[in-house]
Amino acid sequence: MISETVLDKFLRYVAIDTQSKEDSDTYPSTLKQLDLLRLLSKELRELGVSQVEMDEHGYVIATIPANVGIKVPVIGIIAHVDTSPEVTGANVKPNVISEYRGGDIVLPGDTSIVIKESENPSLKLAIGRTIVTTDGTTLLGADDKAGVAAVMTAVQELQGNSSIKHGEVKIAFTPDEEVGAGTKYFDIAKFGADFAYTVDGDTPGELNRETFSANLCTITVEGRDIHPGSAKNVMVNSVRVISEIIARLPKNISPETTDGYQPYVHPYVLDGGVGRSTVKVLFRDFKTEGLSVLEKIVERVLNEVRPVFPNAKISMQVREQYRNMREGVDKDPRVADYLFEGAKRAGLQPEWKPIRGGTDGSKLTEAGLPTPNIFTGGANFHGKMEWVNVWGMEKAVETVLNTLQIWAEKSAGSR
């Protein structure tokens, strides 16, 4: 393993189905995630990492001792093993393109699915390089197995190259990030890091220190079911009611019509029948106070629909999901500044980009562990057009190693 490439690791990891599941009553939400977590525990030990633990929740935690004689903040490096519930992660057939020449990519397992150059500007960075796509029948799993492969390759380098000077390093692999539960049982005190980084981003050079703040809204419509042959003036069809609600949600603040720092309201899971229907709606805004504005917009829609269907019972519940990590990260600028310098030393032109989503780092930062995010080289996550730039994974490894060295250098200079 000591001479494996990041691509070798990535191809091995994506062969393991780790799709998570919403509304599960187990933790992890799918037990198959433990297959990869156990493998990572084994591989860490094979790489010579002596302190490796997998706890009852599936978290894999490892410690790499410092190799410098000065006090350096303990740095954590984190990636998640699960893949999105939205598309199957079973029987992944990676399509390795050794020298991408540019242009659209027709996927071999389903030629109706095409990765279009015009829709993927980061493909320009991949020309002449190796990329990996799906075959078009599953997702690839680069979110976040590209991150897992990058972290494991960084561990391989740390274990094999004593010239890389660093303080104590904590490694963590987590389950269930994709269903918002990646840090549900994560013990920050036990982890023992002062600062951390998730390796869970996309385009090479893009770094993240701010995310959406997020709430989940569940709208429920209770109707009245009866045989359609005798339904006149009796039936209350909740499917029609909830369809009316969805149709009235403003289209100018949806994911399809917004970008950058713009907020959105996103109905994304619908379950229904005549008697009862529900829709889950995501509220997203970089300003936490903006979430209440989105909630009021939806409440106004419900109040418009209630008189149209007076015999239907319409209710909504809102719960907190995660908060923008920016405020916590900004409390100590070193965690972001050293990461930025680490990416520059990797030969990149790094830029800070807001995440129109969340990471484990959102929750960890809110809980007191500042945790910005590092790119992986992947793109089009959560779908069959997912792909990854292997050069981007390699640069993620370099950025991690450089950042660890910078922490040690700066600590030596401050004595």
Q: How many residues does the chain have?
A: 415
Provide the pLDDT for residue 278: 98
Provide the pLDDT for residue 243: 98
Tens digits of residue pLDDT in 397-410: 999 999 999 999 99
Tens digits of residue pLDDT in 277-295: 999 999 999 999 999 999 9
Sign of the CA dihedral with 14 first, then 355, 204, and 79 last: negative
Pairing of strands 264-272, 276-285: antiparallel
Burial class (CB in 10 A: 0-12, 13-18, 19+), 382: middle
> Which amino acid makes up residue 104?
D
Q: Report the catalytic residues.
A: 82, 177
Domains 6-211+324-413 and 213-321 share a fold: no
* Residue 180, number of CB atoms within 10 A of its CB: 18
Residues paired with 373 in a beta bridge? 198, 208
User: By the 8 A CB rule, do 319 and 215 touch?
Assistant: yes
Distance in angstroms (rounded) separating the CA atoms of residues 346 and 152 = 18
DSSP summary character for residue 122: G
Band of pLDDT at residue 378, cut at 50, 70 and 90: very high
Distance in angstroms (rounded) separating the CA atoms of residues 73 and 373 = 18
Predicted structure pTM score: 0.88
Q: Which of 357, 326, 352 is nearest to 341 (CA)?
A: 352
Average pLDDT over residues 217-243: 96
Tens digits of residue pLDDT in 71-92: 999 999 999 999 999 999 999 9
Task: Give the residue extent of every domain in the chain.
Answer: 6-211+324-413, 213-321
Band of pLDDT at residue 180, cut at 50, 70 and 90: confident
Distance in angstroms (rounded) separating the CA atoms of residues 230 and 222 = 19
Q: Residue 240: phi, psi to the nearest 5?
A: -65, -40
- Answer yes or no: CATH 3.30.2000.20 is held by domain 6-211+324-413: no
pLDDT of 1 strictly over 70: no
Q: Which of 199, 209, 87 is nearest to 144 (CA)?
A: 199
Band of pLDDT at residue 414, cut at 50, 70 and 90: low
Name the CATH code of domain 213-321 (choices 2.60.120.10, 3.40.50.300, 3.30.70.360, 3.30.70.940).
3.30.70.360
Q: Which of 189, 236, 181, 204 is nearest to 23 (CA)?
A: 181
Distance in angstroms (rounded) separating the CA atoms of residues 275 and 413 = 68
User: By the 8 A CB rule, do 220 and 314 touch?
Assistant: yes
